[in-house]
């Protein structure tokens, strides 16, 4: 269902979005207060299983006790496994430590991994679940906006290497996703804004009315309540539809990478650090993708300007000059882009736009047009 600009439903009960993958399909439960229902919801899909809760130290201080209490109330034993927060933990050493802790706790194939945290926790815990004992079941409880609308849905798991982001991983669909929108109240404004870039992305891909609704109602999404639930549910519904048609990114699913070819290069250039959060990089990357689209004659300049204006209005960066510290030159950024997973036969694959809500997969793009777009961005303070 496409949103009507200026109007959103007021759900009295949690919203359920189905990811239709046949026997491997699963539900995404979306709404406030769902963490307290974790035990009964997990027990429905995995009764009597032991739960290995992978989380980070920051999330654990807030949510590990209520999560374990909810599981215990449903008769589910749980064992927490902690990791340091941040993208720098999404690596082989942390992956090895998590798997070791799972095996030391005598996890069995009938047990499950519960990922309690943001995208880093979900990606790493999911990869551990996909590979330990050749695969154990996974439940995602995303605690950030970015994870609720993007990384917890669709089965992508993985870790970073020195060659780039998410280059080692597996597709491993969860049994269940529990997106408690009340948990987002604990995010800093910067973290919430970062996740919002992925929400807006769904409107930009194929739902211009949703983007128009966000332009009018983004403040309500930030403040919470029905509009936040509506934004998360609409985003999850959009992703679920694409994943259901293209689980392993053989075609249409690549549209979800709008802006990401630029974004991943910028994240690498910033050292995967607090200098540039993932959603901030995506916001800049989407702006660059629209500018490249305009340069290639695919969309009008006012559409690219509209995208930049919306991100800027909510406080997301839209320019390279807004990234703290020095960035490498254009050649170095192009080299980082060449390491992206979306490279096919040595050529970069871009997600470009013929307008807002009209994204498409583009191959064989003239590298000089990409270079010119980056050069222009570097010279525009």
Catalytic site residues? 134, 156, 198, 239, 249, 253, 257, 260, 264, 278
- Which long-range contacts (C-beta less than 8 Å, at least 24 apart) are formed by 370-379? 370/292, 370/334, 370/337, 371/330, 371/334, 372/295, 373/288, 373/291, 373/292, 373/295, 374/288, 374/330, 374/333, 374/334, 375/330, 376/291, 377/288, 377/291, 377/319, 377/320, 378/320, 378/327, 378/330
Residue pair 210/202 in contact (Cβ under 8 Å)? The answer is yes
- Tokens describing residue 341: 């997973």
Distance separating alpha carbons of residues 24 and 311, to the nearest angstrom: 36
Q: Is 54 exposed, middle or buried (0-12, 13-18, 19+ CB in 10 A)?
A: buried
Please spell the DSSP secondary structure of 39-97, one letter per residue.
HHHHHHHSTT--EEEEEEHHHHHHHHHHHHHHHHHTT--EEEEEE-SSGGGSSHHHHHH
Please provide residue 355's backbone torsions phi and psi, each rounded to the nearest 5 degrees: 150, 175
Distance separating alpha carbons of residues 182 and 368, to the nearest angstrom: 46
166 conformational bin, left if phi > 0, alpha if psi -120 to 50, beta if neither: left
Distance separating alpha carbons of residues 377 and 281, to the nearest angstrom: 14
Distance separating alpha carbons of residues 125 and 251, to the nearest angstrom: 26
Residue pair 255/357 in contact (Cβ under 8 Å)? The answer is no
């Amino acid at each position: 269902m496409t949103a009507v600009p200026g109007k959103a439903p007021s759900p009295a009960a949690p919203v359920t979005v189905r990811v239709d993958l046949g026997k491997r399909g699963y539900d995404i439960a979306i709404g406030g207060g769902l963490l307290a229902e974790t035990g009964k919801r997990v027990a429905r899909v995995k009764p009597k299983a032991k739960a290995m809760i992978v989380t980070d130290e920051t999330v654990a201080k807030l949510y590990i006790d209520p999560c374990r209490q909810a599981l215990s109330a449903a008769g589910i034993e749980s064992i927490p496994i902690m990791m340091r927060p941040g993208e720098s933990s999404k690596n082989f050493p942390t992956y090895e430590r998590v798997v070791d802790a799972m095996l030391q706790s005598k996890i069995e194939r009938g047990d499950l991994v519960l990922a309690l945290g943001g995208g880093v926790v979900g990606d790493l815990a999911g990869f551990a679940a996909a590979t330990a004992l050749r695969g154990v079941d996974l439940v995602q409880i995303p605690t950030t906006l970015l994870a609720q609308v993007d990384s917890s849905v669709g089965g992508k798991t993985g870790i970073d290497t020195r060659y780039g982001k998410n280059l080692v991983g597996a597709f491993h669909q969860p049994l269940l996703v529990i997106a408690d929108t009340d948990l987002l109240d604990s995010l800093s404004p910067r973290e919430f804004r970062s996740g919002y870039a992925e929400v807006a992305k769904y409107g930009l891909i194929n739902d211009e009315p949703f983007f128009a609704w966000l332009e009018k109602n983004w403040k309500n999404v930030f403040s919470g309540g029905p509009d936040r639930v509506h934004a998360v549910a609409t985003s999850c519904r959009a992703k679920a539809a694409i994943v259901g048609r293209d689980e392993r990114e053989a075609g249409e699913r690549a549209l979800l990478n709008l802006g990401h070819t630029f974004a991943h290069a910028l994240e690498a250039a910033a050292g995967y650090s607090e200098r540039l959060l993932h959603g901030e990089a995506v916001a800049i990357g989407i702006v660059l993708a629209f500018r490249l689209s305009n340069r290639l004659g695919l969309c009008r300049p006012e559409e690219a300007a509209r995208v930049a204006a919306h991100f800027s209005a909510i406080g997301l960066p839209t320019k390279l000059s807004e990234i703290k510290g020095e960035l490498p030159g254009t050649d170095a950024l192009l080299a980082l882009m060449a390491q992206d997973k979306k490279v096919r036969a040595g050529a970069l694959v871009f997600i470009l736009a013929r307008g807002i809500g009209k994204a498409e997969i583009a191959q064989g793009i003239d590298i000089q047009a990409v270079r010119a777009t980056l050069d222009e961005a570097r010279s525009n303070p």
